[in-house]
Amino acid sequence: MAERNITVFEVEAVIKYGDREPGLDEYDKKYEYWRYVIRAKNVNDRDMAISVDIEDCPETIIVTVMLVDPNTGRSL
């Protein structure tokens, strides 16, 4: 997050108000967890995506946080 100049506040907002990218859902059979990508514009109108792992435990693990080029959908 520090590398990409992204704050905890921005991450929380994307998780709370963003939309899941269903085409990027992935299930890991070996370790039995789901990985989802949540995407939204942040308060500065930057397009962001967050990859999260949902495991059978009380936590959600944030794998990566990135800025996304709104034209190509690719990570910046």
Tell me the pLDDT tens digit for each residue of 4-56. Answer: 888 888 888 888 899 999 998 999 898 888 888 999 987 778 889 888 887 77
pLDDT of residue 41: 84
> Is residue 73 one of the residues assigned to a domain?
no
56 close to 34: Cβ distance less than 8 angstroms: no
Domain boundaries, position 21: 8-67
Whether 57 shows a pLDDT value over 80: the answer reads no
Regarding beta strands 26-28 and 47-54, do their DSSP bridges make them parallel or antiparallel, or are they unpaired? unpaired
Pair of tokens at residue 2: 């520090």
Q: How far is residue 28's CA from residue 70's CA, in Å, rounded to a whole number?
A: 28
> Is residue 2 one of the residues assigned to a domain?
no
Number of domains in the chain: 1
Q: How far is residue 57's CA from residue 59's CA, in Å, rounded to a whole number?
A: 6
Q: How far is residue 14's CA from residue 30's CA, in Å, rounded to a whole number?
A: 28
